[in-house]
Structure 1
Amino acid sequence: MVEMTSESDDCTINRRRRRLMLRRARSAANNGNKAVTDENSVEVSLHSSGPSCASSSERSSDDDVSAVMLRESSNQDVPPTPTKAAFVGSSYGCVSSIGRRREMEDAVCVELGFVSRALFKDSYDFFGVYDGHGGAHVAVECKVLLHGIVKARLEGAEGRVVDWEDVMGRSFADMDAEVARKGEKAAGTVGSTAVVAVVGSELVVIANCGDSRAIISRGGAAIALSDDHKPNRPDELKRIEDAGGSVIERNGHRILGVLAISRSIGDHYLKPFVTPEPDVRVVERTHLDEFLILASDGLWDMLSNDHACQIVRRCLKGQNGRRPDQQVAKEHGTAAEAAALLARTAMAQGSSDNISVIVVELERPSRKLIA
């Protein structure tokens, strides 16, 4: 059930109050993400890997945000993995908002088909969210370079079964070393989280360091595919102390009283207490999979996993009460609308951070891979 702060029953924000227009536009195969140009704006881009590709964008002031509240669902047991199904292609929407911050330190990367069937039996798409701190330098470097580093590691595994944990671990280490190698001024005190998803027709691979998060909606259940790396997490605290570091409670638990996450790319002044080593999870895709959400903590500090999944699910299934003249993509919402709605809900609930969100649909019509 949806509770609104406006008089409308729409689950999306009233168009007259938020001055939002979703404009269908012709897209190009290599459409990139546009930079946010207004301090309090949100920019949305929608892409589809199907025969046609739609693109839309929105900019709207924080002052026009209306809260969209969904009731929290009860915890659900993770459903058993059913019979494996094959999928090809996906659509996605992404949002990157400066929010109420003066500086934009987040970065988002989407590379469709970054690994093709020329190397493997499957093709893969790459999605990444990077939340910088101390500046945007490392997050931007990750956006530009990390997918290429992962691709190079995968090309080195051509003809062999891919050890995803090894590939991702080495790729994150390579990225960290590249940041250190460039040695730009103040780079040692700048860092970034990283949560990336490599999506194929049969697998979803998640690698993360820091507190940006990935979740999947499967059979109606919100399932976390990453664990936040916080200094007070028992295993992380032990690792830090074993390395000779300490965690001090100063406006939250922080390594040496400074950094509120225990893993990141960059932050070389806090080595070896801070490590770029990612947690890696490989998940087989099933016919119950609905969508992925990757986002920075500007979203997750405001919304629970269940709440975020409810918002996206209702939007994608068209359960938002929109009038016919407001419809996009026929009776269904789009991944871009869902990502925008997540960001706006977080801002309406008081987020003061940058917010970056990627929503990847997983339940599009599929076809079997040709061997």
Structure 2
Amino acid sequence: MAAILHKMKEKVCLGSSDDSETAKGKSKITHGYHLVKGKSNHPMEDYFVAEFKQVEDNELGLFAIYDGHMSQQVPNYLRSHLFQNILNEPNFWTEPEISMKRAYRITDNTILDKASELGKGGSTAVTAILINGRKLLVANVGDSRAVLCKNGVAKQLSVDHEPIKEKEDIQNRGGFVLTYPGDVPRVDGKLAVARAFGDKTLKEHLSSEPDIAVEIIDDEAEFIILASDGIWKVMTNQEAVDCIKEMKDAKTGAKQLTQEALNRMSRDDISCIIVKF
């Protein structure tokens, strides 16, 4: 069992506070990551995956940011299981969007079933699968974000699932959206995202249905940023792209973007992955 766990840790990059790394796939596409714990009193709740993996004749780049709330266990579970569930879908290669939605749903149901073990907290997620350096599949729930840079221009590929935007759906499920003075809108006055994994006590009023984007990586694509809201709370998509567009390599870009968020007084956990084409 120890040998198996060691191999799993080698295959999947495991995130921790103040961590950074860079790696390269066969297609010579590089990636780097950097994480910094926020100013809050709770432990670091961001986890990530960043790896290249050979599946038969295909090279897959697997990248994800999991931003936990009131939980380390749920994002850690996602890190270990979500991509596995996606790639185990029998129709992934022919119906990737349907397969990803199904895998998200299955994973969320399992997390809810394991609430006694994983706790009542939850996690957002943004995942990206790069197939043979050419086709990019992005899925997300919550407010972690994927932003593509094409010819210096930022293009958001994910959807911020804000309670105020999904107020009608939340109300139709029996919930409500409440905004306290000086605060952001929250589901049932508690959670600042309308979609998430876990959160068993709020689940009747939440969704775990991902939004999915498909992008062909052409010569105009320069890099993609995957990051938790510790970055997006303090800068726009274009500001993030402009911050690192002259980066030397992906690892340097990830560290530079994280530092800029800190300079702008971000207090949340910060995690980001840069994939450089």
Q: Percent identity?
A: 30
Give structure 2 stretches of 5+ with no counterpart. Answer: 1-8
In the alignment, is the contact (CA less than 8 A) between 1:114 and 1:126 conserved in 2? no
Match for residue 93 of structure 1 among 32, 35, 38: 32
Q: Distance in 2 between matches of 1:31 and 1:157?
A: 24
Bigger Cα displacement from structure 2, 207-216 vs 105-114: 105-114
Structure 1 stretches of 4+ with a deviation exceeding 6 A read: none
In the alignment, is the contact (CA less than 8 A) between 2:14 and 2:47 conserved in 1? no
Give structure 1 stretches of 5+ with no counterpart. Answer: 1-28, 51-87, 316-332, 363-371
Q: Distance in 2 between matches of 1:344 and 1:197?
A: 23
Q: Give how far 1:269 is off.
A: 1.2
Which amino acid counterpart does residue 256 of structure 2 have in structure 1? L
Match for residue 173 of structure 1 among 82, 105, 110: 105
Matched, 1:106 2:38: no
Superimposed CA distance per residue, residues 282-301 of structure 1 (whole angstroms, 9 cap, x where no aligned partner): 11121100001000000110
TM-score normalised by structure 1 residue count: 0.68
- The structure-2 alpha-carbon separation of the partners of 1:186 and 1:111, relative to structure 1 and needing over 3 Å to count, comes to closer
Q: Distance in 2 between matches of 1:337 and 1:45?
A: 9
- The structure-2 alpha-carbon separation of the partners of 1:178 and 1:111, relative to structure 1 and needing over 3 Å to count, comes to farther
**1:328 corresponding residue in structure 2:** none
**1:124 corresponding residue in structure 2:** 60
Q: Give how far 1:34 is off.
A: 5.6
Q: Distance in 1 between matches of 2:275 and 2:103?
A: 23
Which SS does the other structure have where 1:107 is aligned? strand
Q: How many residue pairs were aligned? A: 265
Matched, 1:272 2:204: yes
Match for residue 228 of structure 2 among 290, 296, 299: 296
**1:319 corresponding residue in structure 2:** none
Q: Distance in 2 between matches of 1:312 and 1:123?
A: 26
Q: Give how far 1:186 is off.
A: 6.8
Match for residue 343 of structure 1 among 254, 258, 269: 258
Q: Give how far 1:181 is off.
A: 2.2
In the alignment, is the contact (CA less than 8 A) between 2:15 and 2:48 conserved in 1? no
- The structure-2 alpha-carbon separation of the partners of 1:336 and 1:31, relative to structure 1 and needing over 3 Å to count, comes to farther
Q: Distance in 2 between matches of 1:293 and 1:281?
A: 14
Superimposed CA distance per residue, residues 36-75 of structure 1 (whole angstroms, 9 cap, x where no aligned partner): 4xxxx6221111124xxxxxxxxxxxxxxxxxxxxxxxxx
TM-score normalised by structure 2 residue count: 0.90
Bigger Cα displacement from structure 2, 100-109 vs 345-354: 100-109
In the alignment, is the contact (CA less than 8 A) between 2:14 and 2:48 conserved in 1? no
Q: Distance in 2 between matches of 1:342 and 1:261?
A: 24
Q: Give how far 1:32 is off.
A: 5.3
Specify which structure has the higher proportion of helix.
Answer: 2
In the alignment, is the contact (CA less than 8 A) between 1:99 and 1:347 conserved in 2? no
Q: Give how far 1:206 is off.
A: 0.4
> CA-atom RMSD, angstroms?
1.8
Match for residue 147 of structure 2 among 212, 215, 221: 215
Which amino acid counterpart does residue 249 of structure 1 have in structure 2? T
Which amino acid counterpart does residue 130 of structure 2 have in structure 1? V
Q: Give how far 1:138 is off.
A: 0.5
Match for residue 192 of structure 1 among 123, 146, 163: 123
Superimposed CA distance per residue, residues 304-337 of structure 1 (whole angstroms, 9 cap, x where no aligned partner): 100111122111xxxxxxxxxxxxxxxxx11011
Q: Distance in 1 between matches of 2:74 and 2:54?
A: 21
Q: Distance in 2 between matches of 1:293 and 1:346?
A: 14
Q: Distance in 1 between matches of 2:201 and 2:235?
A: 32
Which amino acid counterpart does residue 100 of structure 1 have in structure 2? K
Which SS does the other structure have where 1:150 is aligned? helix
Q: Give how far 1:114 is off.
A: 5.5
Which SS does the other structure have where 1:45 is aligned? strand
Q: Give how far 1:123 is off.
A: 2.6
Matched, 1:136 2:48: no
Q: Give how far 1:217 is off.
A: 0.4
Bigger Cα displacement from structure 2, 258-267 vs 91-100: 91-100
Q: Give how far 1:275 is off.
A: 1.1
Q: Distance in 1 between matches of 2:195 and 2:111?
A: 15
In the alignment, is the contact (CA less than 8 A) between 1:114 and 1:151 conserved in 2? no
